[in-house]
Amino acid sequence: MSSHSGPVILITTKVGDAQEARIRAAAPDARILREAELAAKPALVHEIEICYPRLPSALWKKAEKLLWLQSSFAGMDSLLALPEARQHPAVFTNVHIHANCIAEHLWGMALMLTRNLHKSLRAQDSGKWETALVSEGVDTLAGKTLCVAGLGVIGAHCAALGRAFGMRVIGITRHARPDSSADEVVGPEKRREVFARSRIIMLILPDTPDTKCFVDKSELDVMHGACLLNAGRGSSIATDQLVEALRDGRVRGAGLDVTDPEPLPPGHPLWSIPNVIITPHYGGVHPGYDEEAFSVFCSNLERWVNGRPLLNVVDKTAGY
């Protein structure tokens, strides 16, 4: 694994003494490098074997001994967009610590749109009691169908909450294998059929060539007033087509934690459409995030030292 007695680990985030002690507990013989030391002794880049949570882009070609990079994020698109990183033989692992908060975020937006809570808030801001206005078109979830596109760890949690609301759940995955979190699972080629049957549609997709414009005009045309929510990547939806579908009622409302472009520029039409809820890509933020990500790294480091398989290994070809 290394010519050293222990691995050489580059840490590119702030860690305190207690956290460093946890690294040493997992890998007692490790040599821990900080960015300041690497800047002072650039030749050390050739010795790096493990990195957490990022390797500066300029170092990929020089880090020929790098064997494993542990990211502190779930999405790997920005890293894999670097040819030097994608082509590097190092193993990449990510973290799966977003399920609760992103599911809560998506369902918060779904409930707002279903129960017209966004309209009530606007009426409240105006100091108006608008029962007739805000109750028009109010819907319920029980007995309806939820579609979750991207039935991974986060998607499964979204599905469980949907079932708690009394919904039937259909999942969309790259390989349409049965999954206990859904009543039905289909492949991407059947998405239009499923969208036509769904009242709530949640996208939790990575940014890959296969997911770009996953929802375009053909998909929006069959939604028949469904609510569309996205907490994966903005590129999954053809934004211009979504604007039109929202305006003409093909889509009842949209909850977007991600957009394309991102950040959404001032003056963009989505800002002013009343049946849209936009949040600035913070669905995965929660108290203790950094600690949870660091704990995943320490757990994987212990596995590495003991020759056990790493958790959350990324498929570079698939992009996640």
Positive or negative CA dihedral for 137, 139, 144, 148? positive
304 Cα distance to chain centroid? 26
The answer to whether 9 touches 31, Cβ cutoff 8 Å, is yes
| Three-state DSSP class for residue 122 | helix
Write down the catalytic residue from 24, 163, 168, 281.
Answer: 281
The Cα–Cα gap between 309 and 36 comes to 31
Please report, for residues 1, 29, 60, 102, 130, the alpha-carbon distance to residue 74 in angstroms, rounded to integers and kept in the order given: 26, 29, 20, 12, 42
In this structure, what are the phi and psi dihedrals at residue 229, rounded to the nearest 5 degrees? -125, 140
The answer to whether 26 touches 32, Cβ cutoff 8 Å, is no
Rg for the chain, CA atoms, rounded: 22
**Encoded tokens for 312:** 């959350």
Q: If we measure between CA atoms, which residue out of 206, 188, 115, 117 comes closest to residue 147?
A: 188
The answer to whether 210 touches 188, Cβ cutoff 8 Å, is yes
Write down the catalytic residue from 118, 233, 250, 252.
Answer: 233
In this structure, what are the phi and psi dihedrals at residue 186, rounded to the nearest 5 degrees? -130, 165
- 281 assigned to active site: yes
Catalytic residue numbers read 233, 281
